[in-house]
Structure 1
Protein backbone atom coordinates (compact mmCIF):
# COMPACT_ATOMS: atom_id res chain seq x y z
CA UNK A 1 0.00 0.00 0.00
CA UNK A 2 1.07 3.55 -0.71
CA UNK A 3 1.77 5.39 2.53
CA UNK A 4 1.64 9.16 2.84
CA UNK A 5 4.47 9.70 5.32
CA UNK A 6 3.78 13.44 5.47
CA UNK A 7 0.75 12.73 7.64
CA UNK A 8 3.15 11.78 10.44
CA UNK A 9 5.49 14.76 10.17
CA UNK A 10 7.80 16.77 7.93
CA UNK A 11 9.50 14.75 5.18
CA UNK A 12 11.99 15.32 2.38
CA UNK A 13 12.12 13.30 -0.83
CA UNK A 14 15.49 12.75 -2.54
CA UNK A 15 15.73 11.02 -5.93
CA UNK A 16 18.04 7.99 -6.13
CA UNK A 17 20.95 8.14 -8.54
CA UNK A 18 20.88 5.90 -11.62
CA UNK A 19 23.63 3.70 -10.12
CA UNK A 20 21.70 3.24 -6.87
CA UNK A 21 18.58 2.25 -8.79
CA UNK A 22 20.52 -0.28 -10.87
CA UNK A 23 22.54 -1.65 -7.95
CA UNK A 24 19.38 -2.07 -5.87
CA UNK A 25 17.77 -4.19 -8.58
CA UNK A 26 20.97 -6.18 -9.11
CA UNK A 27 21.48 -6.84 -5.39
CA UNK A 28 17.90 -8.06 -5.06
CA UNK A 29 18.31 -10.36 -8.07
CA UNK A 30 21.58 -11.74 -6.70
CA UNK A 31 20.06 -12.31 -3.26
CA UNK A 32 17.14 -14.35 -4.61
CA UNK A 33 19.13 -16.14 -7.35
CA UNK A 34 21.81 -17.68 -5.13
CA UNK A 35 20.94 -19.51 -1.90
CA UNK A 36 23.30 -17.62 0.40
CA UNK A 37 25.29 -19.04 3.28
CA UNK A 38 27.68 -16.80 5.24
CA UNK A 39 30.49 -18.15 7.40
CA UNK A 40 32.37 -15.94 9.82
CA UNK A 41 35.97 -16.27 10.94
CA UNK A 42 38.94 -14.21 12.06
CA UNK A 43 42.47 -13.91 10.74
CA UNK A 44 45.57 -12.87 12.67
CA UNK A 45 47.15 -10.30 10.37
CA UNK A 46 49.77 -8.96 12.81
CA UNK A 47 52.73 -10.23 10.80
CA UNK A 48 51.11 -9.28 7.50
CA UNK A 49 50.52 -5.71 8.66
CA UNK A 50 54.13 -5.47 9.87
CA UNK A 51 55.27 -6.68 6.45
CA UNK A 52 53.04 -4.13 4.70
CA UNK A 53 54.44 -1.32 6.83
CA UNK A 54 57.99 -2.42 6.00
CA UNK A 55 57.16 -1.84 2.31
CA UNK A 56 55.60 1.61 2.70
CA UNK A 57 58.79 3.59 2.13
CA UNK A 58 59.48 1.75 -1.12
CA UNK A 59 55.84 2.13 -2.16
CA UNK A 60 55.98 5.88 -1.53
CA UNK A 61 59.06 6.18 -3.74
CA UNK A 62 57.11 4.47 -6.50
CA UNK A 63 54.10 6.71 -5.94
CA UNK A 64 51.96 3.79 -4.80
CA UNK A 65 49.48 3.73 -1.90
CA UNK A 66 50.00 0.23 -0.56
CA UNK A 67 46.83 -0.82 1.26
CA UNK A 68 45.94 -4.11 2.87
CA UNK A 69 43.49 -4.85 0.05
CA UNK A 70 46.34 -5.60 -2.35
CA UNK A 71 47.62 -8.31 -0.01
CA UNK A 72 44.11 -9.67 0.50
CA UNK A 73 43.72 -10.06 -3.25
CA UNK A 74 46.91 -12.14 -3.44
CA UNK A 75 45.67 -14.25 -0.53
CA UNK A 76 42.32 -14.76 -2.27
CA UNK A 77 44.07 -16.03 -5.40
CA UNK A 78 45.95 -18.61 -3.32
CA UNK A 79 42.65 -19.66 -1.73
CA UNK A 80 40.95 -19.95 -5.13
CA UNK A 81 43.76 -22.18 -6.35
CA UNK A 82 43.28 -24.42 -3.33
CA UNK A 83 39.48 -24.40 -3.63
CA UNK A 84 38.78 -24.02 -7.39
CA UNK A 85 35.02 -24.44 -6.97
CA UNK A 86 35.01 -20.89 -5.62
CA UNK A 87 36.60 -19.65 -8.85
CA UNK A 88 33.61 -20.71 -10.88
CA UNK A 89 30.14 -19.90 -12.15
CA UNK A 90 27.09 -22.06 -12.70
CA UNK A 91 25.96 -22.59 -16.28
CA UNK A 92 22.71 -20.83 -17.25
CA UNK A 93 20.87 -24.14 -16.95
CA UNK A 94 22.35 -24.70 -13.50
CA UNK A 95 23.59 -28.21 -14.28
CA UNK A 96 27.29 -27.49 -14.87
CA UNK A 97 29.99 -25.73 -12.88
CA UNK A 98 32.23 -23.63 -15.11
CA UNK A 99 35.71 -23.60 -13.57
CA UNK A 100 37.80 -20.56 -14.48
CA UNK A 101 41.53 -20.66 -15.11
CA UNK A 102 41.99 -16.90 -14.69
CA UNK A 103 41.98 -14.73 -11.58
CA UNK A 104 40.20 -11.40 -11.94
CA UNK A 105 39.22 -10.02 -8.54
CA UNK A 106 36.52 -7.39 -8.07
CA UNK A 107 36.31 -4.97 -5.17
CA UNK A 108 33.26 -3.11 -3.96
CA UNK A 109 33.85 0.63 -4.30
CA UNK A 110 31.49 3.14 -2.73
CA UNK A 111 31.05 6.37 -4.66
CA UNK A 112 28.83 9.43 -4.14
CA UNK A 113 26.50 7.97 -6.78
CA UNK A 114 26.37 4.47 -5.32
CA UNK A 115 28.17 1.14 -5.24
CA UNK A 116 30.27 -0.12 -8.17
CA UNK A 117 32.57 -3.14 -8.50
CA UNK A 118 35.72 -2.52 -10.56
CA UNK A 119 37.79 -5.58 -11.46
CA UNK A 120 41.57 -6.01 -11.13
CA UNK A 121 42.61 -8.40 -13.88
CA UNK A 122 45.17 -11.21 -13.72
CA UNK A 123 45.92 -10.74 -10.03
CA UNK A 124 47.92 -13.99 -10.08
CA UNK A 125 50.40 -12.40 -12.49
CA UNK A 126 50.96 -9.20 -10.50
CA UNK A 127 52.84 -8.29 -7.34
CA UNK A 128 51.24 -6.25 -4.57
CA UNK A 129 52.69 -2.99 -5.92
CA UNK A 130 51.06 -3.54 -9.31
CA UNK A 131 47.78 -4.52 -7.67
CA UNK A 132 47.86 -1.43 -5.43
CA UNK A 133 48.47 0.74 -8.47
CA UNK A 134 45.49 -0.81 -10.26
CA UNK A 135 43.32 -0.36 -7.16
CA UNK A 136 44.15 3.33 -6.95
CA UNK A 137 43.53 3.89 -10.66
CA UNK A 138 40.20 2.06 -10.71
CA UNK A 139 39.01 3.70 -7.47
CA UNK A 140 39.85 7.12 -8.89
CA UNK A 141 37.95 6.40 -12.08
CA UNK A 142 34.97 5.20 -10.06
CA UNK A 143 34.84 8.39 -7.99
CA UNK A 144 35.21 10.53 -11.12
CA UNK A 145 32.52 8.56 -13.00
CA UNK A 146 35.05 7.50 -15.63
CA UNK A 147 34.87 3.71 -15.23
CA UNK A 148 34.33 1.84 -18.47
CA UNK A 149 31.86 -1.03 -18.61
CA UNK A 150 34.63 -3.51 -19.41
CA UNK A 151 36.46 -2.44 -16.24
CA UNK A 152 33.56 -3.86 -14.23
CA UNK A 153 33.26 -7.13 -16.14
CA UNK A 154 34.97 -10.51 -16.03
CA UNK A 155 35.35 -10.86 -12.26
CA UNK A 156 35.81 -14.28 -10.65
CA UNK A 157 35.43 -13.29 -7.01
CA UNK A 158 34.71 -10.07 -5.12
CA UNK A 159 36.05 -8.51 -1.92
CA UNK A 160 33.86 -6.07 0.00
CA UNK A 161 35.65 -4.08 2.69
CA UNK A 162 33.70 -2.19 5.34
CA UNK A 163 36.72 -1.55 7.54
CA UNK A 164 36.42 2.16 6.97
CA UNK A 165 33.02 2.38 8.66
CA UNK A 166 33.69 -0.01 11.53
CA UNK A 167 31.62 -2.93 12.71
CA UNK A 168 32.65 -6.52 13.29
CA UNK A 169 30.82 -8.77 10.83
CA UNK A 170 28.32 -8.43 7.99
CA UNK A 171 26.65 -10.55 5.30
CA UNK A 172 27.97 -9.56 1.86
CA UNK A 173 25.73 -10.34 -1.12
CA UNK A 174 27.25 -12.51 -3.86
CA UNK A 175 28.01 -10.66 -7.09
CA UNK A 176 26.38 -13.15 -9.49
CA UNK A 177 27.34 -14.96 -11.69
CA UNK A 178 30.21 -15.34 -9.22
CA UNK A 179 29.59 -17.92 -6.50
CA UNK A 180 31.25 -16.29 -3.49
CA UNK A 181 32.25 -12.97 -1.95
CA UNK A 182 34.55 -12.09 0.95
CA UNK A 183 33.52 -9.40 3.41
CA UNK A 184 36.30 -7.72 5.39
CA UNK A 185 35.66 -5.71 8.55
CA UNK A 186 37.90 -3.43 10.61
CA UNK A 187 40.87 -5.13 12.25
CA UNK A 188 41.49 -4.51 15.94
CA UNK A 189 44.04 -5.42 18.60
CA UNK A 190 42.83 -8.33 20.71
CA UNK A 191 44.36 -10.53 23.43
CA UNK A 192 45.31 -13.92 22.00
CA UNK A 193 46.58 -16.85 24.04
CA UNK A 194 50.07 -18.06 23.12
CA UNK A 195 50.51 -21.73 23.96
CA UNK A 196 54.31 -21.48 23.85
CA UNK A 197 54.62 -18.62 26.35
CA UNK A 198 51.46 -19.69 28.19
CA UNK A 199 50.24 -16.12 28.26
CA UNK A 200 48.19 -13.60 26.33
CA UNK A 201 49.63 -11.17 23.81
CA UNK A 202 48.14 -8.39 21.70
CA UNK A 203 47.51 -9.41 18.10
CA UNK A 204 45.86 -7.62 15.19
CA UNK A 205 42.73 -9.60 14.32
CA UNK A 206 40.65 -9.09 11.18
CA UNK A 207 37.02 -10.31 10.99
CA UNK A 208 36.10 -12.12 7.76
CA UNK A 209 32.65 -12.89 6.36
CA UNK A 210 32.47 -15.34 3.45
CA UNK A 211 29.16 -15.61 1.62
CA UNK A 212 28.81 -18.38 -0.96
CA UNK A 213 26.24 -20.14 -3.09
CA UNK A 214 25.02 -23.15 -1.08
CA UNK A 215 24.64 -25.18 -4.25
Structure 2
Protein backbone atom coordinates (compact mmCIF):
# COMPACT_ATOMS: atom_id res chain seq x y z
CA UNK A 1 0.00 0.00 0.00
CA UNK A 2 1.16 3.52 -0.75
CA UNK A 3 2.27 5.14 2.48
CA UNK A 4 2.95 1.81 4.22
CA UNK A 5 6.46 3.03 5.07
CA UNK A 6 5.20 6.01 7.08
CA UNK A 7 6.75 6.54 10.52
CA UNK A 8 5.21 4.47 13.31
CA UNK A 9 2.29 5.94 15.23
CA UNK A 10 3.57 7.74 18.35
CA UNK A 11 3.28 5.81 21.61
CA UNK A 12 2.17 8.22 24.33
CA UNK A 13 1.27 7.64 27.97
CA UNK A 14 -1.68 10.04 28.06
CA UNK A 15 -2.35 9.22 31.71
CA UNK A 16 0.85 11.02 32.56
CA UNK A 17 -0.92 14.31 31.76
CA UNK A 18 -4.22 13.72 33.55
CA UNK A 19 -7.20 11.42 33.95
CA UNK A 20 -8.16 9.36 30.90
CA UNK A 21 -10.70 6.71 29.91
CA UNK A 22 -9.94 3.83 27.55
CA UNK A 23 -12.85 3.15 25.19
CA UNK A 24 -12.35 0.38 22.59
CA UNK A 25 -13.60 1.06 19.07
CA UNK A 26 -16.64 -0.89 17.98
CA UNK A 27 -16.13 -3.60 15.38
CA UNK A 28 -17.64 -1.36 12.70
CA UNK A 29 -15.45 1.59 13.72
CA UNK A 30 -12.35 -0.60 13.57
CA UNK A 31 -13.17 -1.94 10.12
CA UNK A 32 -14.13 1.50 8.82
CA UNK A 33 -10.91 3.02 10.16
CA UNK A 34 -8.83 0.53 8.20
CA UNK A 35 -10.78 1.00 4.97
CA UNK A 36 -10.71 4.81 5.20
CA UNK A 37 -6.96 4.87 5.89
CA UNK A 38 -6.36 2.58 2.90
CA UNK A 39 -8.55 4.66 0.60
CA UNK A 40 -7.02 7.98 1.71
CA UNK A 41 -3.46 6.71 1.21
CA UNK A 42 -4.06 4.84 -2.05
CA UNK A 43 -6.37 7.21 -3.95
CA UNK A 44 -5.22 10.66 -5.15
CA UNK A 45 -8.27 12.59 -3.92
CA UNK A 46 -9.54 15.86 -5.33
CA UNK A 47 -12.79 17.48 -4.19
CA UNK A 48 -14.81 19.77 -6.47
CA UNK A 49 -17.43 21.96 -4.81
CA UNK A 50 -20.46 23.73 -6.26
CA UNK A 51 -24.03 24.66 -5.35
CA UNK A 52 -27.16 23.07 -6.80
CA UNK A 53 -30.56 24.75 -6.94
CA UNK A 54 -33.14 22.51 -5.25
CA UNK A 55 -35.98 25.03 -5.09
CA UNK A 56 -38.02 22.97 -7.55
CA UNK A 57 -37.17 19.74 -5.71
CA UNK A 58 -38.56 21.07 -2.44
CA UNK A 59 -41.67 22.45 -4.16
CA UNK A 60 -42.32 19.06 -5.77
CA UNK A 61 -41.68 17.14 -2.54
CA UNK A 62 -44.36 19.23 -0.82
CA UNK A 63 -46.97 17.94 -3.30
CA UNK A 64 -46.14 14.24 -2.92
CA UNK A 65 -47.65 11.79 -0.45
CA UNK A 66 -45.91 10.09 1.14
CA UNK A 67 -43.26 12.78 1.00
CA UNK A 68 -40.00 11.26 -0.30
CA UNK A 69 -36.64 12.23 1.13
CA UNK A 70 -34.51 14.70 -0.79
CA UNK A 71 -31.84 11.99 -0.77
CA UNK A 72 -33.93 9.93 -3.17
CA UNK A 73 -33.86 12.79 -5.69
CA UNK A 74 -30.08 12.94 -5.44
CA UNK A 75 -29.83 9.19 -6.00
CA UNK A 76 -31.91 9.46 -9.18
CA UNK A 77 -29.93 12.51 -10.31
CA UNK A 78 -26.71 10.55 -9.84
CA UNK A 79 -28.02 7.86 -12.18
CA UNK A 80 -28.46 10.53 -14.84
CA UNK A 81 -24.93 11.76 -14.14
CA UNK A 82 -23.44 8.27 -14.41
CA UNK A 83 -25.16 7.77 -17.76
CA UNK A 84 -23.93 11.11 -19.08
CA UNK A 85 -20.39 10.58 -17.77
CA UNK A 86 -19.72 6.80 -17.88
CA UNK A 87 -16.20 7.06 -16.46
CA UNK A 88 -17.77 7.91 -13.09
CA UNK A 89 -19.51 4.52 -13.18
CA UNK A 90 -16.27 2.59 -13.29
CA UNK A 91 -13.64 0.99 -11.09
CA UNK A 92 -9.97 0.30 -11.61
CA UNK A 93 -9.11 -3.38 -11.56
CA UNK A 94 -6.53 -4.79 -9.13
CA UNK A 95 -3.68 -4.03 -11.54
CA UNK A 96 -4.69 -0.37 -11.82
CA UNK A 97 -4.23 -0.58 -15.59
CA UNK A 98 -7.80 -1.28 -16.68
CA UNK A 99 -11.04 0.59 -16.13
CA UNK A 100 -14.08 -1.61 -15.56
CA UNK A 101 -17.15 0.26 -16.83
CA UNK A 102 -20.37 -0.86 -15.15
CA UNK A 103 -23.69 -1.13 -16.93
CA UNK A 104 -25.71 -1.18 -13.70
CA UNK A 105 -26.58 1.69 -11.37
CA UNK A 106 -26.33 0.91 -7.65
CA UNK A 107 -26.07 3.92 -5.33
CA UNK A 108 -24.35 3.76 -1.93
CA UNK A 109 -25.87 5.69 0.99
CA UNK A 110 -23.67 6.51 3.99
CA UNK A 111 -25.61 5.78 7.19
CA UNK A 112 -24.67 7.13 10.62
CA UNK A 113 -25.36 4.49 13.29
CA UNK A 114 -24.59 4.30 17.03
CA UNK A 115 -21.98 1.64 16.21
CA UNK A 116 -20.29 3.61 13.45
CA UNK A 117 -20.56 4.55 9.78
CA UNK A 118 -21.80 2.05 7.20
CA UNK A 119 -22.69 2.38 3.52
CA UNK A 120 -25.84 0.61 2.37
CA UNK A 121 -26.44 0.08 -1.35
CA UNK A 122 -29.71 0.78 -3.18
CA UNK A 123 -29.70 -1.41 -6.27
CA UNK A 124 -30.95 -0.76 -9.80
CA UNK A 125 -31.80 2.89 -9.23
CA UNK A 126 -32.21 3.33 -12.98
CA UNK A 127 -35.11 0.88 -13.02
CA UNK A 128 -36.95 2.00 -9.88
CA UNK A 129 -39.34 4.92 -9.48
CA UNK A 130 -38.28 7.55 -6.99
CA UNK A 131 -40.83 6.39 -4.41
CA UNK A 132 -39.28 2.91 -4.34
CA UNK A 133 -35.79 4.34 -3.94
CA UNK A 134 -36.97 6.48 -1.03
CA UNK A 135 -38.49 3.38 0.58
CA UNK A 136 -35.27 1.41 0.04
CA UNK A 137 -33.17 4.15 1.65
CA UNK A 138 -35.50 4.24 4.64
CA UNK A 139 -35.43 0.45 5.00
CA UNK A 140 -31.63 0.28 4.74
CA UNK A 141 -31.24 3.03 7.33
CA UNK A 142 -33.60 1.32 9.77
CA UNK A 143 -31.86 -2.03 9.33
CA UNK A 144 -28.40 -0.46 9.74
CA UNK A 145 -29.39 1.29 12.96
CA UNK A 146 -31.08 -1.84 14.26
CA UNK A 147 -29.51 -5.25 13.84
CA UNK A 148 -27.03 -4.06 11.22
CA UNK A 149 -26.54 -4.65 7.50
CA UNK A 150 -25.29 -7.91 6.00
CA UNK A 151 -22.39 -7.66 3.57
CA UNK A 152 -24.80 -8.27 0.69
CA UNK A 153 -26.41 -4.88 1.46
CA UNK A 154 -23.07 -3.06 1.45
CA UNK A 155 -21.34 -4.26 -1.70
CA UNK A 156 -21.64 -3.54 -5.41
CA UNK A 157 -22.08 0.23 -5.22
CA UNK A 158 -21.20 2.44 -8.20
CA UNK A 159 -21.00 5.82 -6.44
CA UNK A 160 -21.89 6.86 -2.89
CA UNK A 161 -23.67 9.74 -1.17
CA UNK A 162 -22.68 11.18 2.20
CA UNK A 163 -25.28 13.67 3.42
CA UNK A 164 -24.75 15.98 6.39
CA UNK A 165 -27.53 18.33 5.32
CA UNK A 166 -29.69 17.46 8.28
CA UNK A 167 -26.92 18.49 10.67
CA UNK A 168 -25.20 21.49 9.08
CA UNK A 169 -22.08 22.68 7.34
CA UNK A 170 -21.21 24.44 4.11
CA UNK A 171 -19.03 21.72 2.63
CA UNK A 172 -16.63 18.91 3.44
CA UNK A 173 -14.25 16.42 1.83
CA UNK A 174 -15.78 12.93 1.77
CA UNK A 175 -13.38 10.02 1.23
CA UNK A 176 -13.95 7.89 -1.86
CA UNK A 177 -15.41 4.47 -1.02
CA UNK A 178 -13.08 2.19 -3.00
CA UNK A 179 -13.35 0.54 -5.44
CA UNK A 180 -15.75 3.31 -6.47
CA UNK A 181 -14.27 6.36 -8.18
CA UNK A 182 -16.32 9.16 -6.63
CA UNK A 183 -18.51 10.15 -3.71
CA UNK A 184 -21.00 13.01 -3.43
CA UNK A 185 -21.09 15.02 -0.21
CA UNK A 186 -24.24 17.02 0.56
CA UNK A 187 -24.19 19.86 3.11
CA UNK A 188 -27.00 22.03 4.51
CA UNK A 189 -29.24 23.86 2.04
CA UNK A 190 -29.74 27.61 2.46
CA UNK A 191 -31.89 30.26 0.82
CA UNK A 192 -29.73 32.60 -1.28
CA UNK A 193 -30.56 35.66 -3.40
CA UNK A 194 -30.22 35.61 -7.18
CA UNK A 195 -30.56 38.43 -9.67
CA UNK A 196 -33.60 37.70 -11.80
CA UNK A 197 -35.26 39.44 -14.72
CA UNK A 198 -35.32 43.24 -14.59
CA UNK A 199 -32.69 43.01 -11.83
CA UNK A 200 -35.31 41.75 -9.38
CA UNK A 201 -34.04 39.64 -6.49
CA UNK A 202 -35.21 36.04 -6.42
CA UNK A 203 -34.63 33.71 -3.48
CA UNK A 204 -33.46 30.20 -4.34
CA UNK A 205 -32.77 27.19 -2.13
CA UNK A 206 -29.16 26.19 -2.79
CA UNK A 207 -27.41 23.09 -1.47
CA UNK A 208 -23.59 22.84 -1.32
CA UNK A 209 -22.25 19.74 -3.08
CA UNK A 210 -18.76 18.31 -2.61
CA UNK A 211 -17.67 15.72 -5.18
CA UNK A 212 -14.53 13.82 -4.20
CA UNK A 213 -13.03 11.71 -6.98
CA UNK A 214 -10.10 9.51 -7.95
CA UNK A 215 -7.82 11.76 -10.00
CA UNK A 216 -6.21 8.75 -11.69
CA UNK A 217 -9.38 8.35 -13.74
CA UNK A 218 -11.39 11.57 -13.41
CA UNK A 219 -10.07 15.06 -14.12
CA UNK A 220 -11.24 18.39 -12.77
CA UNK A 221 -13.13 19.45 -15.87
CA UNK A 222 -15.15 16.23 -15.80
CA UNK A 223 -15.98 16.74 -12.12
CA UNK A 224 -17.13 20.31 -12.80
CA UNK A 225 -19.32 19.14 -15.68
CA UNK A 226 -20.72 16.33 -13.55
CA UNK A 227 -21.91 18.71 -10.82
CA UNK A 228 -23.30 21.13 -13.41
CA UNK A 229 -25.25 18.22 -14.86
CA UNK A 230 -26.66 17.36 -11.43
CA UNK A 231 -27.75 20.99 -11.00
CA UNK A 232 -29.53 20.94 -14.36
CA UNK A 233 -31.30 17.67 -13.58
CA UNK A 234 -32.39 18.78 -10.11
CA UNK A 235 -33.83 21.97 -11.62
CA UNK A 236 -36.38 19.78 -13.47
CA UNK A 237 -37.18 17.19 -10.79
CA UNK A 238 -40.39 15.78 -12.31
CA UNK A 239 -38.22 13.79 -14.72
CA UNK A 240 -36.77 11.95 -11.70
CA UNK A 241 -40.08 10.52 -10.47
CA UNK A 242 -40.23 7.59 -12.89
What's the TM-score, normalizing by structure 2? Answer: 0.83
- 2:3 is matched with none
1:9 pairs with one of 18, 21, 32: 18
Deviation readout 1:157-199 (Å, 9 max, x if unpaired): 00000112201000000000000000000101111222x2312
Distance 1:146 1:116 in 2: 9
Deviating runs (4+, > 4 A) in structure 1? none
1:111 pairs with one of 110, 113, 130: 113
Distance 1:4 1:148 in 2: 38
How far off its partner does 1:138 sit?
A: 0.6
Following superposition of structure 1 onto structure 2, how do residues 67-78 of structure 1 map, counting pairs within 5 Å? 67-78=69-80
How far off its partner does 1:2 sit?
A: 1.8
Provide the aligned length of Structure 1 versus Structure 2: 207
Distance 1:202 1:141 in 2: 38
Distance 1:202 1:13 in 2: 50
- 1:214 is matched with 215
What SS is found at the alignment partner of 1:142?
A: helix
Q: Are residue 30 (structure 1) and residue 32 (structure 2) matched? A: no
- 2:150 is matched with 148
Distance 1:185 1:122 in 2: 25
Aligned-residue CA RMSD (Å): 1.0
2:139 pairs with one of 137, 145, 169: 137
- 1:121 is matched with 123
Deviation readout 1:2-32 (Å, 9 max, x if unpaired): 2121222222221110100100000010111
Q: Are residue 42 (structure 1) and residue 42 (structure 2) matched? A: no
Identify the range of structure 1 (7-16 vs 78-87) with the bigger mean alpha-carbon deviation. 7-16
How far off its partner does 1:146 sit?
A: 3.3
Distance 2:149 2:198 in 1: 51
What's the TM-score, normalizing by structure 1? Answer: 0.94
